[in-house]
């Protein structure tokens, strides 16, 4: 392990050496982004650590799900077939909570508004132009749930002449997928449409050669439309995105547990998942390009239906379990958001100022034993800006946001009113071309939800906690970027201090308590403070471009290394884990090292592109499950109390795209895509005793016209 860390750091530092050469031509710092200031700008003026995944990056990977693509970009992903979360600087997005993302620690956005989901497994690259990731708190820009950062998915907008594509692919585990799309602009109308469909009726085999039943799905459909009417100074747009997935197994079953469904065996639980979102957007500017404004109304909805026979749910707490052969009741949780955004930006030669308001209304039907509604209203105002000095050598930015929440507790017939003020400020200093120094301070928060305030349990009592406050973090970061036309490197030190973590702990032993007095859990704010510190480092160097080889050959590294852990998880790891502790929080599934190392190759003369990528996920801490799965002793019962250490692992993936023909000068192109995932058939677990798929293959044909 020390040797691996030294190798990653050494490779990252080696990539800084090209900074001795002069920077020429466009660089990565000229990349256009909108997330840090809610208006268009470039990475040159950004004071926070950011990752931008371009359209080219998205297309070089065969994966459709964004969580699988982000895993190749150096992010830790924890997941099951139906749910997954992402970690940024030690904080994780939600894992399948049906709450519109309220309880997440990483905020998911689409075009700057709440995505309405916290489950990364429900987001695909369909109709996506690029993905912008803010590393570190983003409460000043976007409000609650952005403790560790924000992931902003920018949808594709049509421009230029008509273009279209169609793709068909086959893969391991009976995977079949089809996609079509087109975009362009005709007169005042721009348009972009994508449709994707897949099915995977085969359950995967893990790295030990064991079949993991219940990991396939019957069908997945994702469609996205972006349509707009343009005049010289205005655009009115309409966006829609629909996602449906049917027959998704919950996974984690082996034949020695219960033979199941798709092969003539007994049926187990499956999920039907649905999300939809609608946006009406208006953008405008004045004739002098001094004032710019935007208004947006949006609606999002996520829902899922579970049915079947539940013997065991490997993801503890997802659903209730029933005895073998007893059908579970139909469970249909859902969550929706109605939202409105308005902002106005004034741009001078040396300064910009943006102010506006956000309003979000959350409504959810929960999975509590006594089904009830969760209602939460959020009104916010923000003001942010930046000033440039010394011919754009020094850029200062900052802002503040005020959020007010009305949290409706319908069973308790009460309203909790909470508020939060989140400042942020930073600087970017470019003393010479090719060098950027940056520093930033930001705060983040998670607002307690109605489920935290009022817990109800079927026939056994309730607990009302009216004294909860927001869970807050304060983060500092200092970084350096070195960049040129064919290379870029970065190094960031970050430190986050958090307080008021909302925790749940068991109040009484149910065996010793009368049923009508039994309160299972109590929500509370922790009185302890703790902190995390770490390094983010990496970069890439295009040897082919630098030395005029006629093709691109670019090795890269992207890594996060936690220098310190919170005291609670460190104590558990030092003690050998297996320790029973009532506090659950940000510490779970936080590896000490996450790194992606690989090589990109592209030769325009032979129309060949290739990528090989190795992702390393360090050891982490996870809850001990009630049942052991995924090894030769699958029926072994283990202690359901406490936590244990999950081993680190390395996965290697490879992909290749070969242009077969371009049909002369007609604009038609046909390409072959081939990929091998988990090349060395590695057995691994992101959740204790819950293995991922072993080696698997993909081959596809893509037709393009432009």
Q: In terms of DSSP H, where are the helices of 262-389?
A: none
Give helix then strand counts, H and E, for the chain: 7, 40
The Cα 380–Cα 269 span in angstroms is: 41
Place of tokens 């990539």: 15
pLDDT of residue 321: 29
Tell me the average confidence (pLDDT) per consecutive run of 10 residues in the chain, 706 residues long. 52 48 65 89 93 88 86 85 81 71 86 86 87 94 91 92 94 91 94 92 83 78 94 95 80 45 48 88 95 96 67 31 33 81 96 96 64 78 96 95 85 74 96 95 88 55 65 93 93 89 55 41 60 90 93 95 67 47 55 93 93 92 56 41 77 94 81 94 84 92 91
Cα–Cα distance list, 509 to 343, 344, 467, 506, 526 (Å)? 52, 55, 24, 8, 21
DSSP type of residue 17: G
Using H for helix, E for strand and C for coil, what is the string for 458-520? Answer: CCCEEEECCCCCCEEEEEEEEEEEEECCCEEEEEEEEEEEEECCEEEEECCCHHHCCHHHCCC
d(CA 249, CA 78) in angstroms, rounded, equals 17
Look at the pTM and tell me if it is higher than 0.75: yes
Q: Nearest to residue 684, comparing CAs of 214, 95, 207? A: 207
Check residue 82 and give its pLDDT.
67
Nearest to 678 by CA among 10, 254, 313, 173: 173
Q: 349: which residues sit within 8 A by CB, 6+ positions away? A: none
Distance CA 562, CA 405 (A): 33
Q: How far apart are CA 332 and CA 304, in angstroms?
A: 6
Instruction: Give the Cα-Cα-Cα angle 144, 146, 149 (nearest 5 degrees).
Output: 170
SS3 content of the chain, % helix, strand, coil (to 5): 10, 55, 35
> Buried b vs exposed e over 93-125: b needs ≥16 C-beta within 10 Å?
bbbbbbbbbbbbbbbbbbbbbbbbbbbbbbbbb
For 272, other C-beta atoms within 10 Å of its C-beta total 18
CA distances from 581 to 94, 319, 455, 686 (A): 21, 23, 21, 21
Rg of the chain over all Cα atoms, to the nearest angstrom: 25
* CB contact at 8 A, 320 and 311: no
Strands (E), 113-162: 113-114, 128-135, 149-155
First vs last C-alpha separation in the chain: 49
The C-alpha angle 504, 507, 512, rounded to 5 degrees, equals 145
Paired tokens of 488? 């870029």
Residues 6+ apart with CB under 8 A from 690: 80, 251, 252, 314, 315, 625, 629, 630
H or E element that contains 406: strand 394-409
- What domains, with CATH codes, occur in the chain? 2-705 (2.40.170.20)
Close Cβ partners of 194 (under 8 Å, ≥ 6 residues apart): 126, 127, 156, 179, 180, 181, 222, 223, 224
Q: How far apart are CA 165 and CA 194, in angstroms?
A: 9
């Amino acid at each position: 392990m020390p040797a691996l860390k030294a190798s990653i750091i050494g490779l990252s530092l080696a990539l800084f050496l090209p900074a001795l050469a002069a920077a020429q031509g466009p660089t990565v710092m000229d990349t256009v982004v909108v997330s840090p200031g809610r208006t268009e700008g470039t990475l040159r003026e950004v004071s926070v650590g950011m990752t931008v995944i371009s359209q080219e990056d998205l297309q070089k990977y065969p994966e459709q799900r964004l969580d699988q693509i982000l895993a190749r970009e150096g992010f830790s992903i924890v997941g099951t077939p139906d749910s997954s979360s992402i970690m940024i600087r030690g904080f994780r997005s939600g894992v399948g909570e049906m709450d519109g993302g309220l309880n997440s620690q990483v905020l998911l956005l689409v075009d700057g508004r709440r995505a309405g989901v916290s489950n990364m497994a429900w987001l695909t690259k369909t109709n996506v132009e690029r993905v912008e990731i803010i590393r570190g708190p983003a409460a000043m820009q976007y409000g609650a749930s952005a403790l560790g950062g924000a992931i902003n998915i920018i949808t594709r907008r049509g421009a230029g002449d008509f273009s279209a594509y169609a793709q068909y692919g086959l893969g391991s585990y009976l995977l079949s997928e089809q996609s079509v799309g087109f975009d362009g602009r005709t007169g005042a109308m721009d348009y972009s449409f994508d449709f994707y469909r897949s099915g995977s009726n085969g359950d995967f085999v893990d790295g030990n050669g064991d079949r993991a039943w219940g990991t396939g799905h019957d069908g997945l459909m994702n469609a996205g439309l972006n349509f707009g009417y343009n005049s010289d100074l205005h655009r009115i747009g309409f966006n829609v995105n629909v996602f449906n997935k049917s027959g998704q197994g919950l996974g984690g079953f082996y034949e020695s547990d219960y033979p199941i469904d798709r092969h003539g065996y007994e049926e187990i639980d499956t999920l039907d998942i649905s999300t939809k979102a609608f946006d009406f957007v208006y953008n405008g500017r004045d004739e002098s390009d001094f004032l710019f404004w935007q208004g947006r109304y949006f609606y999002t909805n996520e829902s899922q239906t579970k049915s079947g026979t539940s013997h065991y749910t490997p993801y503890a707490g997802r659903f209730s379990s029933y005895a073998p052969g007893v059908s579970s009741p139909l469970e249909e949780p859902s969550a929706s958001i109605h939202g409105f955004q308005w902002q106005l930006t004034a741009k001078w030669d040396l300064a910009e100022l943006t102010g506006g308001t956000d309003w979000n209304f959350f409504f959810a039907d929960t999975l509590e034993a006594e089904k009830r509604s969760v209602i939460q209203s959020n009104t916010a105002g923000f003001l942010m800006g930046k000033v440039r000095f010394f011919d754009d050598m020094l850029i200062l930015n900052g802002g503040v946001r005020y959020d007010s929440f009305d949290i409706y507790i319908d069973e308790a017939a009460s309203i909790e009113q909470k508020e939060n003020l989140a400042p942020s400020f930073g600087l970017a200093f470019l003393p010479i071309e090719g060098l950027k120094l940056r520093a930033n301070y930001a705060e983040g928060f998670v607002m307690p939800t109605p489920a935290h305030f009022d817990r109800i349990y079927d026939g056994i009592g309730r607990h009302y906690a009216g004294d909860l406050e927001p869970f807050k973090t304060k983060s500092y970061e200092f970084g350096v970027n070195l960049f040129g036309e064919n290379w870029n490197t970065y190094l960031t030190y970050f430190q986050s201090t958090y307080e008021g973590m909302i925790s749940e702990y068991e109040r009484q032993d149910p065996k010793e308590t009368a049923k009508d007095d039994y309160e299972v859990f109590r929500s509370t704010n922790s009185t302890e403070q703790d902190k995390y510190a770490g390094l983010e480092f990496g970069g890439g160097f295009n040897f082919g471009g630098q030395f005029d080889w006629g093709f691109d050959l670019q090795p890269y590294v992207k890594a996060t290394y936690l220098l310190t852990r919170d005291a609670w998880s460190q104590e558990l790891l030092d003690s050998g884990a297996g320790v029973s502790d009532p506090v659950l929080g940000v510490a779970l599934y936080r590896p000490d090292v996450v790194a992606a190392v690989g090589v990109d190759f592209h030769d325009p003369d032979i129309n060949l592109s290739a990528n090989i990528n190795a992702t390393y996920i360090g050891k982490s801490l996870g809850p001990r499950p009630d049942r052991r799965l995924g090894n030769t002793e699958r029926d072994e019962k283990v202690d359901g109390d406490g936590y244990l250490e999950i081993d680190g692992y390395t996965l290697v993936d490879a992909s290749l795209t070969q242009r077969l023909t371009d049909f002369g000068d007609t604009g038609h192109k046909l390409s072959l895509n081939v990929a091998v995932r988990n090349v060395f058939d590695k057995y691994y677990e992101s959740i204790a005793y819950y293995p991922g798929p072993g080696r698997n293959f993909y081959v596809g044909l893509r037709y393009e016209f432009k």
